[in-house]
């Protein structure tokens, strides 16, 4: 499909602005014609990674939110009652940031270098 630049800007103004502005560029390190080989070679930093309770707490802004996460995961049986109590104690004594820095949207992509 051939589209002239003016039509493209009209159809996709934000995308055109990003492309013209030179921001949000993604470096391409290699090109593979075999899709399976390309997928296997992709960043494996978080392959088969399952976030744990600490990962979820690090996304919280408040102690109340962190408490809800702990309660939820304990109720589902994903963490033990004993571990949940240790987390609550740490939360009350040291605060939500004692579990780690705030993880904003895109954290895992940035960590993976994408």
CA-CA-CA-CA torsion sign (8, 20, 24, 47): positive
Residue pLDDT, tens place only, 52-81: 899 999 999 999 999 999 999 999 999 999
pLDDT at 20: 79
The parts of the chain modelled with pLDDT lower than 50 are: none
- What integer pLDDT is reported at residue 63 of this predicted model? 96
The DSSP-derived string for 6-51 is HHHHHH-HHHHHHHHHT-S--------S-HHHHHHHS--TTTT---
Q: From CA 41, how far away is CA 38, in angstroms rounded? A: 5
3-state secondary structure (DSSP) of residue 55: helix
Q: How far is Cα 12 from Cα 17, in angstroms, rounded to an integer?
A: 9
> How far apart are the C-alpha atoms of 50 and 55, rounded to whole Å?
9
Task: Specify the pTM.
Answer: 0.59
């Amino acid at each position: 499909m051939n589209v002239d630049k003016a039509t493209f800007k009209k159809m996709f103004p934000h995308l055109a602005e990003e492309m013209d502005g030179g921001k949000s560029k993604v470096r391409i390190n290699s090109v593979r014609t075999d899709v399976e080989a390309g997928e296997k070679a992709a960043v494996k930093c978080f392959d088969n990674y399952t976030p744990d309770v600490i990962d979820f707490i690090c996304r919280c802004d408040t102690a109340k939110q962190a408490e809800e996460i702990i309660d939820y995961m304990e109720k589902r049986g994903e963490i033990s009652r004993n571990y949940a109590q240790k987390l609550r104690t740490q939360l009350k004594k040291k605060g939500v940031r004692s579990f780690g820095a705030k993880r904003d949207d895109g954290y895992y992509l940035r960590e993976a270098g994408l």
